Structure 1
Amino acid sequence: METARILLGIVWLAVVGSGWGAGSGGLTTSLSGTSHSAPSFQTSLPVPSRISITSSSSRTNVRDLLFRHGSRGFSSLHSFEMTERVLNIARAEVGVREATGLNDGKRVEEYLALVGLPKGHPYCAAFISWVFKKAGYDQPRTAWSPALFPKERVVGNSSRDLSSLRFPRDEGKGLVFGIYFPGLKRIAHCGFVSQIKGDWIHTIEANTSLPGSREGDGVYARTRHFRTIRCYADWIGKGGVK
């Protein structure tokens, strides 16, 4: 967030300061041959102390500052944009229902077809793959929910140890969550995290129902307690967008 504020501050200077200069006494601008002082302001942005942005060089200076101070910001802003893209695609699918309750129906069969399966198969992981495909990602492509949680993409295990979470408790949007089923001895259901609020995970998931079954009848927006989630995987930050 700090980097994003830096970038916004720099862009603001570029937009409103095409004829401005930044000096030790605040911002000054020349209008009709008269020099005017813009109000001084305090900011926590760690912008370099001497910045001169003029109409002839503002684009060059802003570009140089962005590359010098904002490379991490570009990455953060890109991840934010991609997270919103992925979640918006997933949200648009909420309300999709099976045709006969047998993992079928036009849209459900589209999810399954992406991973090479006909109707009748579980499709929670196929839905995840379909959403990422629509968002422009070339991975993941699987109908097997455990395959969504390779070691290099797992960012925490909230059901056993909160300290293992490698993201703030109130963040995590866009992560893929996995639920472990002891009877099957594996992750057997998955979905998207749309928001985390305290102990509760707001989700978008397929092949489920309002009670939370892994053999439900469509795509739902649900709320789950964090202790019901075994692990989270990040496919947005490392997803290999085309």
Structure 2
Amino acid sequence: MQYPGRLIKVGESDAAIVQALKARLNRDPSFANDPKLRLDESNPQFGPKMRQVIKLFQARHVDSQGRPLKQDGEVGAITWAVLFGEQSVPQQGLSAYPLLNQLIQVAAGEEARRVREIPPDSNRGPDVERYLASVGLSGGYSWCCAFTYYCFKTAAGQLHRSNPMFQTGGCLRHWQMAEGQGAQRILAADARANPGLLQPGMLFIMDHGGGLGHTGIIESLLGGLLTTIEGNTDASRTREGGGVYRLVRKVGEINKGYIDYGPC
């Protein structure tokens, strides 16, 4: 059964979805020896007991990356994929837009070169300063947004077209100004409910408070999991890491939203 593109939770009105979930949960080996957890598949209601069983399922399973599921008693894309298989959730490896596919190729090339700050933890180094210079900044500044701008600028040049991205080294400034460039914005809450709204080549924006943010490029998607290429980060997924890395993030980690320059 394919993911319906929204959170499934208490009060769900689609009886077929509720009954399919109950049947799948009843078949789960972790519940086989506990009749008290068996759900009535003839009842089309998503009530408190079903929520309890889903929370228990989430506590006993991990996602495709081996990470714990969020124990909230709601079925989003990641929990759905664990229940029904990865083929049941949206999967995207290519954009419909040539510029965004070229953007991903440029970013992947930078990641393959293992770009790192020199010296470590300095926001400096030949590559880092090249990214910063593309937005008019010198070495020493946070550079995740400058990395995305540099990749956009390079990709656009390779395709002999204009660069649509707003020129800035500030993640939250970019969020504010992107629509004025013709880009579309997707709120984080909308993407959590329906990861199918997202496409490769979109940029994610995180807000860390105090005017600080982080950004990166979506390379591919599998349901509620994003493979990203990011600058100024590391394997801990921090906003002040020392290089360009390919990471896997949950859609739920992104708290601000996404910017889509594809239609520009």
Q: What TM-score range do you get, normalising by the shorter chain?
A: 0.5 to 0.7
Cα deviation, residue 154, structure 1: 4.1
CA RMSD of aligned residues (A): 2.3
Task: Considering Cα pairs closer than 8 Å and 6+ residues apart, tell me whether 1 or 2 has the greater RCO.
Answer: 2
For residue 219 of structure 1, what is the aligned residue in structure 2? Answer: 244
Query: Structure 1 residue 89 and structure 2 residue 114: aligned?
Result: no
What is the TM-score when the length of structure 2 is the normalising length?
0.55
Q: Secondary structure at the match of 1:168?
A: helix
Contact 1:208 1:214 in 2 (8 A): yes
Contact 2:97 2:262 in 1 (8 A): no
Structure 1: tracts of 5 or more residues without a match: 1-76
Query: Structure 1 residue 179 and structure 2 residue 206: aligned?
Result: yes
Query: For each residue in 1:164-191, what CA deviation from the matched residue of structure 2 results, as whole angstroms up to 9, or x when unmatched?
Result: 76x725x510001011214x2x560000
Q: Secondary structure at the match of 1:190?
A: strand
For residue 125 of structure 2, what is the aligned residue in structure 1? Answer: 105
Structure 2: tracts of 5 or more residues without a match: 1-93, 157-161
Cα deviation, residue 114, structure 1: 1.0
Contact 1:176 1:191 in 2 (8 A): yes
Question: Residue 161 and residue 168 in structure 1: after superposition, are their counterparts in 2 closer, same or farther (change >3 A)?
Answer: closer
One of 144, 148, 163 as aligned partner of 2:170? 144
Query: For each residue in 1:56-95, what CA deviation from the matched residue of structure 2 results, as whole angstroms up to 9, or x when unmatched?
Result: xxxxxxxxxxxxxxxxxxxxx9953222111000000112
What is the TM-score when the length of structure 1 is the normalising length?
0.59
Which residue identity lines up with residue 91 of structure 1 in the other structure?
Answer: A
User: Stretches of 4+ moved more than 6 A in 1?
Assistant: none
Question: Whole-Å Cα distance in 2 between the matches of residues 98 and 187 of structure 1?
Answer: 20
Q: Secondary structure at the match of 1:135?
A: helix
Query: Structure 1 residue 130 and structure 2 residue 150: aligned?
Result: yes
For residue 228 of structure 1, what is the aligned residue in structure 2? Answer: 253
Cα deviation, residue 162, structure 1: 4.0
Higher helix share: 2
Question: Whole-Å Cα distance in 1 between the matches of residues 193 and 236 of structure 2?
Answer: 28
Looking at CA atoms only, which structure, 1 or 2, has the larger radius of gyration? 1
Question: Whole-Å Cα distance in 2 between the matches of residues 213 and 202 of structure 1?
Answer: 15
